[in-house]
Structure 1
Amino acid sequence: MTVRVLAAGDHFVLNRLLVAAMRREVPSGLAVGELTLPWPVVPFGPVGEVREASDVEDSLIEALRGVEVCVTQMAPLTERVLAEARDLRLFCVTRGGPVNANLAAATKAGVAVTFAPGRNAVATAEHTVALLLAATRRIPQTHADLAAGVWRGDYYVYDNVGPELEGSTVGLVGYGAIGSRVARILRGFGAEVLVHDPYVELEESVELPELLARSRFLSLHARATPETDAMIGAAELAALPRGSVVVNSARGSLLDYDALCDALESGHLFGAALDVFPEEPIPAGSRLLTTPNLVMTPHLAGGSKQTAANAARIAAEEVGRYTRGEPLAHLANPELFSP
């Protein structure tokens, strides 16, 4: 029996990667159609009732006619799409979480939703350390000066130089697939690593107040939940030693950005580096655009060729399990199969 599949890739997780991974996993029995979404050339945003997706409901509905399985990174699985996609039974999201899918509506419609945990763990960990070093050694600022023909010797003034990683304490808030890799890299620099994560037990685990008081560097890797919303605010930043560096490559909701700007402008923080923001793209007039000693990248920590390949492989493995009648490994709505 042939299973009709839609590969709804984009300009990062390419359709050719999705199709090739599915062909390796299921050599025969798939009829694969393709739809190319505009991300990241066109930013994602809210679509219907989902938070982060490409605004392609109309074209997706048309492409899903008669389709049983959809593999995608950014396609919106909304109530409107589900109402039209009557044959859909499996929606494979190639992201670390299915934030582009309405899980309640999918469950009600009998559609299983899977995701791709750990797909970008290595890329994000490496980018995190790159951000930390860039902020500490003023790399973007000094490059910009040199590119403008300005040689500034005052960067070498004692109060303008940052700390070394070796011998310093780095506090990690969150110790999942990314945080644990960051720890491994930083230990290679000779840093002492402290961890705050209520879900893991480690010798290096401490409560958040102790971590903040002891850490010269702070890197955020927690999940976005109601409990972690703005978990690092003015009081927490003030608890860090003066001259500390803060990095956030996890989720914008973890950090109070106004408090961060205040701490940078006052000189309490030596620097900060961000890959995620409360609003993306950053709106014109945001304080982040003028705050000193701040390094920013546009939510691309997970961007590597290996991440795209991993995403395609993990999703293809789920398609393989589905076609063989096996349990799905990364099911976001397990209640679909509850007795």
Structure 2
Amino acid sequence: MTTTTVVAAGDHFVLPGLFTRELRAAAPGGADLDIREIQLPWPHTPFGRVAEVDEASGTEEEMIEALCGARVCVTQLAPLTERILAACPGLELFCVSRGGPVNADLEAATRHGVAVCYAPGRNAVATAEHTLALILAAARGIGDVHTDLKHGVWRGDYYDYRSCGIEIENSVVGLVGFGAIGSRVARVLAAMGATVLVHDPYVKPEVVEGIAQLVPLGELLRRSRIVSLHARVTDETRGMIGAAEIAAMPPGSVLVNCARGALLDYDAVCDALDSGQLAGAGFDVFPVEPVPAGARLLSTPGVVLTPHIAGGSQEVAHKAARIVAGEVGRFLRGEPLAHCANPDVLRR
């Protein structure tokens, strides 16, 4: 029986032990796995750039040592660079338990014959639920009253009509994007009695039928009292919501973003909150992370902020480990990989 050495490079979110448990469960019967667990420091130490790859945790030296003689690596954030690949010729499969393998040099991996897999949809439920939490919090002004009460101030004046929030039922809510996250948010909002509008140029009307109405962006902004962003960042969508788009929304609207900070002009948001054009906003993503100490968002009333944690739940960690372990199982059985980022390697 041939032993396959697998490196489980976990961190403090997707724990090494979670990888090991799911690898054992996914391995074909009779497979002999030698699993080496290593612990990367994220999120206690922020991820960053390692050589030519982004959003990685750990060092090239650490991974070269761990991958010596290994055929497979499963990880969330370990780097895969040209230097690592050159030093580890036995590596054949590198599985990243994230929505995209940004911590892997795909071109170098392809040259070295290493298949790189990823875990799409692992955090769709968590992000959708967090989005709904921010929508509700921003619509009812929970951020400000929470802060006041924590400082011992009981703000009964929030019952003033002009300070009261809005309900989801019978409101028009616009979602920019109808992918794995946006579609989940839409179904819950519809169940709560909202009229849901969707703008997504890549979705056909029949996909949203019975849940939402597919409309142009201009119409969505004009009609929606609450707008939530769920688009990917592309050349087309970068900065898609700015001062003009916010001005097109009904006065006293709410804007939420749990997608990507680059979609939105945050200075325009602060201006709109100051003027009353926006009554509230909720954000989990920002143009610069961590948010700089002097950023306007931190002092502008009406904003509910969370530090890019929408995709974080215990269930996400389990799903992430399970998805990549499934790829390892397919690899060991000689079956096609489900989510390979560089399929040219497979065609070879």
TM-score relative to the length of structure 2:
0.94
Q: Who is 1:329 aligned against? A: 338
Q: Deviations over 1:76-96 (max 9, x none)?
A: 112222222222111101011
The alignment status of 1:48 with 2:51, answered yes or no, reads yes
Q: Who is 1:294 aligned against? A: 303
The alignment status of 1:281 with 2:290, answered yes or no, reads yes
Contact 1:79–1:102 (Cα < 8 Å) also in 2:
yes
What does 1:302-317 correspond to in 2, within 5 Å? 302-317=311-326
1:250 to 252, 255, 259: 259
Q: Who is 2:238 aligned against? A: 229
1:120 to 119, 123, 148: 123
Contact 2:143–2:303 (Cα < 8 Å) also in 1:
no
- For 1:226 and 1:102, locate their aligned partners in 2 and report how far apart those are by CA, in whole Å: 22
- For 1:57 and 1:155, locate their aligned partners in 2 and report how far apart those are by CA, in whole Å: 54
Q: Who is 1:169 aligned against? A: 172
Q: Who is 2:103 aligned against? A: 100
- For 1:208 and 1:336, locate their aligned partners in 2 and report how far apart those are by CA, in whole Å: 40
What does 1:1-339 correspond to in 2, within 5 Å? 1-26=2-27, 28-202=31-205, 203=209, 204-338=213-347
**Deviating more after overlay: 111-120 vs 279-288:** 279-288
Contact 2:17–2:37 (Cα < 8 Å) also in 1:
no
Code of the aligned partner of 2:3: T
C-alpha displacement of 1:55? 4.1
C-alpha displacement of 1:304? 1.1
Distance 1:266 1:81, change over 3 A: farther
Give the count of matched residue pairs: 339
Distance 1:185 1:56, change over 3 A: same
C-alpha displacement of 1:35? 1.1
- For 1:188 and 1:79, locate their aligned partners in 2 and report how far apart those are by CA, in whole Å: 49
Code of the aligned partner of 2:114: V
Code of the aligned partner of 1:298: P
- Secondary structure at the aligned position of 2:44 is classed as coil
- For 2:114 and 2:199, locate their aligned partners in 1 and report how far apart those are by CA, in whole Å: 36
TM-score relative to the length of structure 1:
0.96
Structure 2 unaligned segments of length 5 or more: list them.
Answer: none
- Secondary structure at the aligned position of 2:268 is classed as helix
Distance 1:265 1:58, change over 3 A: farther
Report % sequence identity.
Answer: 64
Contact 1:45–1:55 (Cα < 8 Å) also in 2:
no
Code of the aligned partner of 1:145: D
Contact 1:71–1:91 (Cα < 8 Å) also in 2:
yes
C-alpha displacement of 1:48? 2.0
Contact 2:254–2:279 (Cα < 8 Å) also in 1:
yes
C-alpha displacement of 1:256? 1.6
- For 2:313 and 2:3, locate their aligned partners in 1 and report how far apart those are by CA, in whole Å: 33
Q: Deviations over 1:57-82 (max 9, x none)?
A: 22112111111111011111122222
C-alpha displacement of 1:226? 2.2
Displaced runs of 4 or more, over 3 A: none
C-alpha displacement of 1:319? 0.2
